[in-house]
Amino acid sequence: MRWNERISPNVLAIPPSGIRRFFDIAAEMDDVVSLGVGEPDFITPWHIRESCVYGLERGFTAYTSNAGLLELREEIAHHFRSRYNVDYDAKKEVLITVGVSEALDLAIRALLSPGDDALIPEPCYVSYKSCVSLVGANPIPVPTSMENNFQLTVDALERAITPKTKLLLIGYPNNPTGAIMPREELMKIADFAKAHDLIVLSDEIYADLTYDAEHTCFSSLPGMKERTIVFNGFSKAYAMTGWRIGYALGAPEIIAAMTKIHQYTMLCAPITAQIAAVEALKNGEKQMKKMVKEYDCRRRLMVDGFRAMGLDCFEPKGAFYIFPSIKRTGLSSMEFAEQLLRAEKVAIVPGDAFGDSGQGHVRCSYAYSIANLNEALTRIEHFVRPMLK
Ligand code: PLP
């Protein structure tokens, strides 16, 4: 069977994630220090794991409703009301999904038809463009740059928009740059969305991981709730990547449409993870804040480390990534990442894995121990020193 002739062209056309490729090479080497994966090095706090154990003991092993446990949806609605002063109806406007990954895919599939355009500011999380391409729609990149603190501007959006643009997909705090979006800037984006009648998909999975800054939820901006789908989840803030639990918040019609796809594909998110997520939201804030404080120390170490070795480095204000410029070395992002891995056994991700405007940068995750980060910085400095003379 010639499988490649049978596989959907939309699937053949999307590249495999540029993040994983490196880790396949790194996995075959000894003594590698990896700053590659965007995953907390903490284990999920015990009280959250324990709630799942008790859930199992009490026999909670069945499907939940398609939309997810009502108790969890109510906790999420409560969280958004108290934190951002935005009201969601737990019964109609909240959908529990298998990670934010599933929620994004559902929203894109529910909204886009072949030939539609979606504006996607770059650099951005690797799955956005591929999810759009998979439905036969066109991702339209909107570049941001370090010179402008990786801020998305209305000028750049105006240059990129087309008559077929249906939605704008933003993610902040940003993976890979660590940029956040201040409220004043978001207001301008909101005006743009309104003027062009766009739907906004707002991936706020790193909302709790901000440093010296408050997160503004996009749907809390005046007039934005009706045209926004907000995404969040438990993977990052509560160190729960493996539990696979996320959610989407939006108008009843879009949540109903997404639920239709979800019921035929996933049926529901795992009940065990939903029970744990209730506990995380009810009682997890203290432990979460402790982890955020630790990330903040690591963030400072990394900014100082890169600057001290002579690389220009934007100070990230959120998430747990740093995105230094490697332009002064004269290498491309891919050359830098490959040579660093072979010469010094440090695994990082080339910036252009996150879009063309990531060229000239590399992404390092600092969700690793201080010892690991120090070792990586020493090795990177050893690698770049001869090139910066
Ligand atoms: N959105 C962003 C910006 C991410 O960085 C990630 C994971 O790295 C995801 C979504 C996916 O998260 P989840 O584990 O909830 O599927």
Q: Which string of DSSP letters, residue by residue, matches 235-292?
A: TTTTT-GGG--EEEE--HHHHHHHHHHHHHHTSS--HHHHHHHHHHHHH-HHHHHHHH
CA of 319 to the centre of ligand 1 (A): 11
Which atom of ligand 1 is the closest one to the Cα of 104?
10
The reply to whether ligand 1 has any atom less than 6 angstroms from the CB of 100 is yes
Which of 108, 126, 131, 175 for mutating ligand 1's site (highest number of atoms within 8 Å of CB)?
175
What integer pLDDT is reported at residue 18 of this predicted model? 66
pLDDT one-digit tens code per residue, 322-352:
999 999 999 999 999 999 999 999 999 999 9
- The response to whether residue 344 sits with its C-beta less than 6 Å from ligand 1 reads no
In this structure, CATH architecture of domain 3-42+286-383 = Alpha-Beta Complex (3.90)
- Give pLDDT tens digits for 107-158: 999 999 999 999 999 999 999 999 999 999 999 999 999 999 999 999 999 9
Residue nearest to ligand 1 atom 8, measured at CA: 38
Q: Average pLDDT in the 85-89 region?
A: 98
CB of 125 within 6 A of ligand 1: the answer is yes
Residue 201 has pLDDT above 90, yes or no: yes
Q: Please give the single-letter amino acid code of residue 74.
A: E
Say yes or no: do domains 3-42+286-383 and 46-283 share a fold.
Answer: no
Q: What is the pLDDT of residue 22?
A: 73
- Residue 176 tokens, joined: 């890979």
Residue 11: count other Cβ atoms within 10 Å of its Cβ.
Answer: 10
Q: Which two tokens stand for residue 7?
A: 């596989």
Residue 204 near ligand 1, beta carbon < 6 Å: no
Q: Match domain 46-283 to its CATH number in 3.40.50.170, 1.10.10.10, 3.40.640.10, 3.40.50.1820.
A: 3.40.640.10
CA distance 299 to 173: 14
Tell me the Cα Rg of the chain: 21
DSSP 25-40: HHHTSSS-EE----S-
Domain ranges of the chain: 3-42+286-383, 46-283
Helices (H), the chain: 3-6, 9-13, 18-27, 46-57, 70-84, 99-111, 127-134, 154-160, 183-195, 252-265, 271-283, 285-308, 333-344, 370-388
Which atom of ligand 1 is nearest the CA belonging to 246? 15
Which residues 6+ apart lie within 8 Å of 214 measured at CB? none
The DSSP code for 210 is B
Q: What is the pLDDT of residues 221-273, one digit of tens each?
A: 999 999 999 999 999 999 999 999 999 999 999 999 999 999 999 999 999 99
CA-to-CA dists, residue 338 to 22, 37, 273, 346, 372, angstroms = 8, 16, 37, 9, 19
The 10 Å Cβ neighbour count of residue 147 is 9
What is the side-by-side order of every strand in the sheet holding 117-122? 94-97, 246-249, 228-233, 199-203, 165-171, 117-122, 138-143
pLDDT at 365 over 90: yes
If you measure from the C-alpha of residue 128 to the centroid of ligand 1, how many angstroms do you get, rounded to a whole number?
10
Helix, strand or coil, per DSSP, at residue 156: helix
End-to-end CA gap in the chain: 56
CB atoms near residue 62 (< 10 Å): 7
